[in-house]
Amino acid sequence: MASSLESAWEFLITHFSEFQLASIGTFLLHETVFFVSGFPSLLLERLGLFSNYKIQKKSNTPDYQNRCVVRLVLYHVCVNLPLMILSYRTFKFMGLRSTLPLPHWTVVVSQVLFFFVLEDFIFYWGHRALHTKWLYQHVHSVHHEYATPFGLTSEYAHPAEILFLGFATVAGPALTGPHLFTLWVWMVLRVLETVEAHSGYHFPWSPSNFLPLYGGAEFHDYHHRVLYTKSGNYSSTFIYMDWLFGTDKDYRKAKAIEEKVWKHL
């Protein structure tokens, strides 16, 4: 497995420059993972499938869904792609490399775990700041146009927010100067996590049922469906920051009431 992976990587670095892989390659990988993982919840909502696992009973209209997709393509091409191209020099300066051999799996795992922890910390405070009155009205309200989220709404946001909260995602890699392979692993996992958190569905196999402290769709869906001043649940992946600072209290109360109702029924 390792040898075949290194052979595939050798093909990439032989046929493409590091700049091409780190910018265009990263963009194409991101777009593929994002849209492939994000479209299923859009289709489930549109077709009314697995409705018993849908967190909210409301659904977005096809026109509203299409509007999201069109704007996402525009934001990604006009904001994300230029950022990836322009940031290559910075990452290179911080130690980014693409040469063989690939980093040992223990290095990849430890760095990705560090990225998740650091991203959670930075994202929490940035996201909480976006819920102050002025920033919410002028920036973050764009993301909350979809009170009933589906996977693709995870990256539907004001360009200023993309820049603002995007810092949380790149902070870890910028500090450690990882191998490009590690950066790709981190990006794929982060995209899959945020798409799942915005999916609008809670399945028996959802990660939050198995991973301790993982937020998931139920946790984040609450954040979308209540008034912005009372939403809480600001964390991105794990819930420990909200627990530490008490910004998940309303969610816990609502969850306890819901469980009591279900138990009574």
Per-residue burial over 66-92, b = 16 or more CB atoms within 10 Å of its CB, e = otherwise: eebeeebeebbeebbbeebeebbeebe
CA-wise closest residue to 26 among 146, 180, 160 = 180
SS3 214: strand
Q: What's the pTM?
A: 0.94
Domain count, the chain: 1
**Overall residue count recorded for the chain in this entry:** 265
* Interior/surface letters 42-58, b for 16+ CB within 10 angstroms, e for the rest: bebbeeeeeeeebbeee
Q: Which domain holds residue 61?
A: 4-263
Cα–Cα distances in Å, from 91 out to 135, 177, 208?
29, 7, 33
pLDDT tens, residue by residue, 182-226: 999 999 999 999 999 999 999 999 999 999 899 999 999 999 988
Report DSSP state, residue 76: I
Give yes or no for a cis peptide into 82 (omega within 30° of 0): no
Structure confidence by residue, pLDDT tens digits, 73-107: 999 999 999 999 999 999 999 999 999 999 999 99
The pLDDT of residue 36 is above 90? yes
